[in-house]
Amino acid sequence: MTGDGFFQYLPAKHALEKLTDEDLRAPLASAAWGQEFVEAAPLTLVFTAKFSKTTNRYGQRGVRYVYMEAGHAAQNVHLQAEALGLGSVAVGAFDDASVSNVLSLPDHLEPIYMVVVGYCRS
């Protein structure tokens, strides 16, 4: 998500699909319990999960795998941000239902993690 809209990553195409031109950063910040930096940042990545995709294969243990993979992906975002001279912040404090509503997520996707990326203030 940027000020230019909300995008979805399509792994099979390694491409972004624009879902809306609307700047959703303010309502997302509100859903993140008023954390103002979420609205101010130029980029927020929202990690979502379709738990059934993993739990159908691994049972309840699959939930753990989903969170592990989200952490691995987020770590790579943090490393790349650092390499580009940017700052990044992990955000886990948010209301799931509110984030889902702001982003109009389909019922099978649950927001589980966010990473906010931008320039560091001195």
Secondary structure (3-state) at 37 = helix
The tens digit of pLDDT for each residue in 6-54 reads 999 999 999 999 999 999 999 999 999 999 999 999 999 999 999 999 9
Which tokens in the block code for residue 3? Answer: 């000020």
Separation of alpha carbons 23 and 19, rounded Å: 11
What pTM does this model have?
Answer: 0.93
pLDDT confidence of 120, banded at 50, 70, 90? Answer: confident
- Is-contact 12 76, C-beta < 8 A? no
What does CATH list as the number for 6-118?
3.40.109.10
Neighbour order of strands in the sheet with 110-118? 43-49, 110-118, 87-91
pLDDT confidence of 122, banded at 50, 70, 90? Answer: low
In the chain, the percentage of residues whose pLDDT exceeds 90 is 98
Domain layout of the chain by residue ranges = 6-118
Cite the DSSP H helix spans in 1-122.
25-31, 36-40, 51-58, 61-83, 96-103
Q: Which of 11, 6, 3 is nearest to 105 (CA)?
A: 6
Which amino acid appears at position 5 of this protein?
A: G
